[in-house]
């Protein structure tokens, strides 16, 4: 099992999630983060930290977000680890409001 970062993370990058992750399983590009399924220990600590509810337990992933399982696995492998909380991306607050949070 693993946890999955989904669509809502795009343009956010508040990175509250990485600050609580006990292992280095978050990886990021310029747009969003991805979880390496081989590193994630399924602790669930990141889920309540995400202000836009982007992170799901694999077993609770909504059907319309199912593509993200493979996307996380593929993307995480080739991207650098993000394990320190950084500044949110420009426009992150607006995006959060647009998403209804």
Where do contacts with ligand SF4 occur on this chain (CB under 6 A)?
A: 3, 5, 9, 12-17, 20-21, 23, 25, 32-33, 35, 40-46, 50, 52, 54-55
Cβ 63 to ligand SF4 shortest distance, Å: 20
Cβ 41 to ligand SF4 shortest distance, Å: 5
By C-beta, is 21 or 68 nearer to ligand SF4? 21
78-99: burial string, b at 16+ Cβ within 10 Å, e else: eeeebeeeeebbeebeebbeeb
By C-beta, is 54 or 75 nearer to ligand SF4? 54
Cβ 18 to ligand SF4 shortest distance, Å: 7
Question: What is the Cα Rg of the chain in Å?
Answer: 12
Q: Is 76 exposed, middle or buried (0-12, 13-18, 19+ CB in 10 A)?
A: buried
CA 55 to chain centre: 6
């Amino acid at each position: 099992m693993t946890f999955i970062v989904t669509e809502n993370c795009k343009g956010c990058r508040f990175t509250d999630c990485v600050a609580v992750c006990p292992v280095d399983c978050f990886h990021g590009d310029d747009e969003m983060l991805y979880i390496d399924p081989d590193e994630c220990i399924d602790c669930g600590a990141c889920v309540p930290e995400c202000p836009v509810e982007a992170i799901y337990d694999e077993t609770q992933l909504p059907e319309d977000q199912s593509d993200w399982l493979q996307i996380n696995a593929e993307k995480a492998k080739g991207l650098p680890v993000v394990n320190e909380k950084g500044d949110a991306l420009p426009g992150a607050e607006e995006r959060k409001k647009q998403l209804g949070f």
